[in-house]
Amino acid sequence: MITKTFICDKCGKSVGETDLINLKINAKLVTSRSQQLVEKDICKECLKTKGILTERKEGTSSEDLMVNNAKTFRDKFIELLNDLEVVFEE
C-alpha cells in the first residue's frame, strides 16, 4: 500500500489531495535569461483565511461565487505569492 501525504506550503498542515490547490508559476530569471517553474501548494483553509476563497451564502448563485472568488484571487495574488515566499524583482 502506498500512502501520499499532501502538505500546505503556507501553514505546513497535512491535508487531503482535494483540499490542496497547486499554483505553478513560470518565472523568467533575469540573471541567466532562463525560465524556472515554481510550484507551491496551498490548502483551502489558508485561502479562506486570506479572504481569497469565500463560501457560498444563501441567495447567491454559483456563478456569482465564482466571479467573486476570481476577483479576490486577482486582487490578492501578489500578496499570496509573498506569503509563499515567491519574490519577484523589477
The string of DSSP letters for 31-76 reads TT--EEEEEEEEEHHHHHHHTSS-PPPTT--HHHHHHHHHHHHHHH
Sequence spans of domains, the chain: 6-83
**pLDDT digits 0-9 by tens, 20-29:** 988 888 777 6
Sign of CA dihedral 44, 55, 71, 48: negative
pLDDT level of residue 88 (50, 70, 90 thresholds): low
Predicted confidence (pLDDT) at residue 53 exceeds the cutoff of 80 = no
**pLDDT over threshold 90, residue 12:** yes
